[in-house]
A and B are shown apart, each in its own frame.
Chain A
Amino acid sequence: MGAAAAAPSRRLAGQWRRSLLFRVGATTLLIGLGTVALLGAYVNAQIRDGLVETRVDRILQQSAQDASTAQDDIDASPAENTNDLQQLVDDVTDKLRVLGGDDRKLVLLQSPSNNTGVPITTGGNPELVNIISEDMQASVAAGTPQSWQFVPMPDGTPAVVVGSNLDIRNAGPHELYFFYPLQAEQQTLSLIQRVLGLGAGMLVALVVFMTWWVTNQAVRPVRDAARVASRLAEGRLSERMKVRGNDEMATLARTFNEMAESLQRQITRMEELSRLQRRFVSDVSHELRTPLTTVRMASDVLYDARSDFSPEVARSAELLSGQLDRFETLLADLLEISRIDAGAARLEFEEISIADVVRDEAEAMGHPARNVGVELRLWVADGEHIASMDRPRVGRIIRNLLSNAVEHAQGHPVDIGVESNGRAVAVVVRDYGIGLTQQQADRVFDRFWRADAARARTMGGTGLGLSIAREDARLHGGKLEAWGRPGEGASFRLLLPRTSRGLGQDAPLQIVLRESEFESLGPRRVLEAHPDPEYTESTS
């Protein structure tokens, strides 16, 4: 029940927040209803009081007159004994009935103070006797000339009861009550109420409708503007508002269109510039490759033959070869970045276990890592870690994370954790080396950014690796995040969605894990040393 009621009320609350029209309409309705109700109640009370007051005046006048007539009749009668007195009372009540008409009822009671003991049947209707209150009786008994009161009749109609004393000779003091039903007044009043209610309803409806209409007039251009703005935001830059007339709304539309025009011009120019620039970078990269191919091969021929040369020439061949590797990697990274920037990157998705990818890359990285005294430790949680991914790209992400970690590990081990949940797979690469400050962690994915500008790159990174890794993660609909603390190391977490449904709310692994937390993740996987490290380098 509560839930069923909550849904519409939530919907109303939503409407209230979203729609100006709804808000204004609802407010007007509430204020209109409130005002009309107050006004109606006041008018109603005034009319009722007026009606009843006149009637009560007439009733009091008539009952006073009838009561004194009855008293005069009794006083003038010579009746002494019980029978005569009974006859007298019957005559008087009959006369009063005739005087008062059909509507008026009357009741004759013995006063509580009557101790004459003369039994006279007064013929009061017991239902009517019941509605005479004690206050009323007391007031009559006290001798108040005309006590009166509003009472409901047994059938529910409101009535006025008027009481007076009647002294019946030997039978002693009696009380005479007249009942005047106010049926006619009641009917008049309800007719007036109905008319008033109808008028109020129409008035409120009219006010609400007018408000709605006027607000709509004012809100419609705003809605139009919002719709056009959202289309602009979607990239449909040629979308414009219609300009009607010459009023404030037309000014809004014109100004809006001018803004859109200027935006479109700027964006088109930027797009053109950016396209040219990307094209240039891409062309340069391609054009460089042909001569580089020759240089590469020539350098390798020299390098392979270096034992035949003098030491200086041999060393030169070595340097040439080594720096060519670096140059090539840089070129490849530049080309990749320009391709991603141009939105030309295409992904070929396969269902693969990320644990396998991580193991392959960790094994390939094992040899260079051992060369700088860094141990790679792979921890894989139980279960399968299959996700839909582009194998080469994900491999490259992991490779970049590993080489970055090894480079900054300062001889400490590097822990690699793999875990997954229903929506996502996660890889955390954690080193315990020099670490990063929070500011550095924010900038670590920037292109060509170095934590320490003076420090050389020992692992031959290009400064684009992490940028590309983050772009690759993004292309998968995943995330790559960094954490670091100076002296405690750095941690990178890669999250990839398992399917196109996205990552979901909860990530499988924390960004930062302590050493012991890796151990609790699952059994440590043994990495096989790759037999031919040189070949590994040449294909990576």
Chain B
Amino acid sequence: MTARILVVDDDPAVAEMIGIVLRADGFETEFCDHGDKALAIFRETHPDVVLLDLMLPGRSGIDICRDIRAESGVPIIMLTAKSDTVDVVLGLESGADDYVPKPFKPRELIARVRARLRRNDSAAPSVVRIGDLEIDVTGHRVTRAGEVIQLTPLEFDVLVTLARSPGQVFTREVLLEDVWGYRHAADTRLVNVHIQRLRAKIERDPENPEIVVTVRGVGYKAGGVSS
């Protein structure tokens, strides 16, 4: 099944070029050139990945990101002309999974999209426990005492990656490679922001995390909270 990509960008040349590149790699493409229409087109087309420009006429990319996140966990990749810290962090905090700074190479874009489409295909046990959480890997469900916790696919991937090797410390770089598919050192803020989002959902007290524990100066590991 070919994956469908929604490209939200107001510059027609960029959008068309992205379309050419994606189609050449066998993706299906949908386009949107105005912020106000983005959510409607998203609902209509049910894309597998959204490429979202942050500077749009009408509704801003950040707002659209929140709108989509409110109703779907679909992977969102921001296309940022500004690589300023504030914008990137704001975008990630509003729910984007990853970002590609403009200008980018086609291969880089494809790699990012593929990484988001890749699922944790499991030869490993399909149910993992960590602390008082039960993770159904094949069913893509996380439950605490029978209660389902909603996670985006990316957050789910981060949690499963950590939970499969309890106690092992993952550096941010390793997580970037395992979860995001970066093959060389990239922006570790991606990891920081998403770990925080994940903690907000799964930790009893996000200020004192017990499931995803920070190892100072190194990275993160799954904590061994026994239920």
Contact = CB atoms under 8 A, between A and B. Distances in A.
Interface string B148-192: 000000000000000000000000010000000011111111001
Nearest to A530: B184
Q: Which of B82, B86, B185, B186 neighbours the largest number of chain A CB atoms within 10 Å of its CB? A: B185
B86 A346 contact: yes
Contacts of A335: 83
Contact of B106 (A300, A344, A535): A300
Contacts of A297: 17-18, 20-21, 103-106, 109
Size bracket of the A interface = 35 or more
Given A301-B20, A539-B184, A293 B85 contact: no
Nearest to A287: B81
B185 A293 contact: no
B217 A353 contact: yes
Contacts of B118: none
Interface in A170-223: none
Given A298-B17, A339-B84, A348-B189, A290 B102 contact: yes
Contact of B103 (A293, A346, A386): A293
Contact of A539 (B18, B24, B185): B185
Given A296-B105, A348-B85, A538-B108, A395 B185 contact: yes
Size bracket of the B interface = 20 to 34
A384 to B, nearest CB: 9
A301 B86 CA distance: 32
A286 B217 contact: no
A392 interface: yes
Contacts of A539: 108, 182, 184-186
Contacts of B20: 297, 301
Interface string B97-136: 0000011111111000000000000000000000000000
A395 B182 CA distance: 17
Contacts of B187: 392
Nearest to B109: A297
A395 B20 CA distance: 34
B103 A292 contact: yes
B11 interface: yes
A304 B104 CA distance: 15
Given A297-B17, A391-B188, A289 B217 contact: no
Given A301-B24, A360-B185, A294 B14 contact: yes
Top 7 A-B residue pairs of the complex, sorted by shortest distance between their CB atoms = A293-B103, A351-B217, A296-B103, A292-B103, A293-B102, A294-B13, A297-B17
20 contacts: A286-B81, A290-B14, A290-B81, A292-B103, A293-B14, A293-B17, A293-B104, A294-B17, A296-B104, A297-B18, A297-B106, A297-B109, A300-B107, A301-B24, A301-B106, A335-B83, A348-B189, A532-B183, A532-B184, A536-B184
Given A293-B81, A392-B188, A395-B185, 15 more contacts: A289-B81, A290-B81, A291-B13, A293-B104, A294-B13, A297-B20, A297-B103, A301-B21, A304-B106, A346-B86, A348-B189, A351-B216, A535-B184, A539-B182, A539-B184
Interface of B: 11, 13-14, 17-18, 20-21, 24, 81-86, 102-109, 173, 182-189, 192, 216-217
